[in-house]
Amino acid sequence: MKTENEGQSKGVVVVTGASAGLGRSIARQFAENGYDVSLLARGEDGLKAAKAEIEAMGKRAVYFITDVADANAVEHAAEETEKQLGPITVWVNNAMNSVFSPVKLMQPDEYKRVTEVTYLGQVYGTLSALKRMLPRDKGVIVLVGSALAYRGIPLQSAYCGSKHAIQGFFDSLRAELIHDKSKVRATMVQLPAMNTTQFKFVKTRLPNKPKPMGKIFQPEVAAKAIVYAAENDRREVYVGYPTVQAIVGDKLAPEFGDWVLAKTGFDGQQTDIPEDPNRPNNLWAPIPGDHGAHGTFDAEATYNSPQLWLSMHKKELLTTALTLGGVLLGSMAYNKWMTNKENDFQI
């Protein structure tokens, strides 16, 4: 189905991790909003399917089989994107990987791999984006974060550590761009638990199948927030009340968070279905096939976030509140004036 934006383009967006899960949803949302899309991921089946989806929406698309842990491969994809689609307007660092495992059972090479994909992949993407955006003095870099960038949870130490690293990198990048008076903008979107494909494919040592912890959101919710962050001057965007709760709660009472997660974080990240200890995982290589955007939790996931809606419309709401307040104050002043006039007349 083609969109009303066919033939027109707001610009070119690069999306990493675009073959499945959240990245697939992000790519669709940017195409729907009028962008041509460059798709980066390891899985060619998903990349081909994503490209076909975007072209069916009337937008141009290219894909590059890319492991974001390889800085040279990321740079090559950026160079080819500009050759084939034009100047990169937005770069979305989304690719991730994880291992569900207690720290005591983790292996050094697993920490290295998750860090290289989830953290350094965002650094390498940012470097390639800056190389092109800074000379033009325009462009937006979106770093995809998580509530876990602020509040670590058990059984995902490699992922939480990587997201914390992204948060620190983001702070440094923002300060430098401001110092240089650059018009290139960096923004970070902090996500809640989502119904994506990762829970079927990440490496796990848990006895039961892994699941998102807490309230589950569909990836389309986060994709809309990411497009919004790219198009609006926001330092950070929190997605979902659970994200706000986790971040603010950790700032106020981190020790209480430790205690709660010690009690709930193990069972809360597992279903009641035993996991096959020998099932394939995507830590080192992609799993063949087109896996789409959604995971296996459609029945539990929501497409709605009142918190995000309020966040995205806070300027309009503030303007409306100020307008109504002005009308109310004006009405009160007028009534008081009329009362005083009546009293003067009676005298």
Catalytic residue set: 159
Residue 246 phi, psi (nearest 5):
-65, -45
Site of tokens 């806070």:
314
* CA atoms of 203 and 41, how far apart (whole Å): 18
State the Cα angle at 144 between 289 and 209, rounded to 5°.
Answer: 50
* CA atoms of 268 and 271, how far apart (whole Å): 8
What tokens does 143 get?
């770093």
State the Cα angle at 17 between 134 and 27, rounded to 5°.
Answer: 75
* CA atoms of 203 and 183, how far apart (whole Å): 40
User: Exposed, middle or buried by CB within 10 Å (0-12, 13-18, 19+), for 256?
Assistant: exposed
DSSP annotation of 339: H
